[in-house]
């Protein structure tokens, strides 16, 4: 069985990016619903029992994929944000990779925000790395994750489903994405880059 992960900050701590109402709807309602649905499926589907969250994402389809992937996506999303002034900075290795693959941090930001704006409908914009450390931006729709079919490992993500930002920003996705950038948890992103692997989030979500 899985549970909501414990946030690494209070629900009021992500201001001005999000207010408490936005966090309550997104974390306590949307995220929790995916986990509750996955737990219900696990009660009747023996193929899910004993698997990590990542294994369920990679081996399932339909509703089980949607709920497990969204549980993973949201957990990763919470962990890659931080209160103002507490996100650290990109590691030297990550900075070098950003300059190599995007030209500069400013260029990465511009392309990340543009990718989020161009993600049609509901989805996610991801910064990813392959096993060699090469960075890329990946846009996915709905619950899809970059690491299916041996795809790259996520190191940063912004949720561009409207429920992620509508309370604070209404339809102003651009303003949301630009504000998100100021509260990236670069310490976490750097750790993800150093590992070059899909993060194991099962432990943070195990009841």
Look at the pTM and tell me if it is higher than 0.85: yes
Per-residue pLDDT of the chain (207 residues; tens, 9 = 90+): 999 999 999 999 999 999 999 999 999 999 999 999 999 999 999 999 999 999 999 999 999 999 999 999 999 999 999 999 999 999 999 999 999 999 999 999 999 999 999 999 999 999 999 999 999 999 999 999 999 999 999 999 999 999 999 999 999 999 999 999 999 999 999 999 999 999 999 999 996
* Within this chain, domains 20-79 and 92-199 share the same CATH topology: no
Domain boundaries, the chain: 20-79, 92-199
Q: Look up the CATH superfamily of 20-79.
A: Fe,Mn superoxide dismutase (SOD) domain (1.10.287.990)
CATH topology assigned to domain 92-199 = minor pseudopilin epsh fold (3.55.40)
First-to-last C-alpha distance (Å) of the chain: 6
Write out the two tokens for 137.
Answer: 């931006």
Q: What does the alpha-carbon distance between residue 26 and residue 24 come to, in Å, rounded to a whole number?
A: 6
Number of H helices, E strands in the chain: 9, 3
């Amino acid at each position: 069985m899985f549970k909501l992960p414990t946030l690494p900050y209070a629900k009021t701590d992500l201001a001005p990016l999000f207010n408490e109402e936005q966090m309550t709807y997104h974390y306590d309602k949307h995220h929790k619903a995916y986990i509750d649905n996955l737990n219900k499926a696990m009660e009747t589907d023996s193929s899910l029992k004993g698997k990590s969250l990542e294994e369920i994402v990679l081996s399932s389809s339909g509703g089980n994929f949607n709920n497990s992937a969204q549980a993973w996506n949201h957990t990763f999303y919470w962990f890659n944000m931080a209160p103002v002034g507490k996100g650290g900075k990109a590691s030297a290795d990550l900075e070098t990779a950003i300059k190599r693959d995007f030209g500069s941090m400013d260029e990465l930001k511009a392309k990340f925000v543009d990718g989020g704006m161009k993600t049609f409908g509901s989805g996610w914009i991801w910064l990813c790395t392959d096993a060699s450390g090469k960075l890329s931006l990946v846009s996915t729709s709905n619950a899809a994750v970059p690491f299916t079919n041996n795809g790259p490992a996520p190191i940063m993500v912004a949720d561009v489903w409207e429920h992620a930002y509508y309370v604070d920003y209404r339809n102003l996705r651009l303003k949301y994405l630009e504000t998100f950038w100021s509260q990236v948890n670069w310490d976490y992103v750097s750790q993800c880059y150093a590992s070059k692997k899909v993060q194991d989030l099962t432990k943070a979500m195990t009841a």
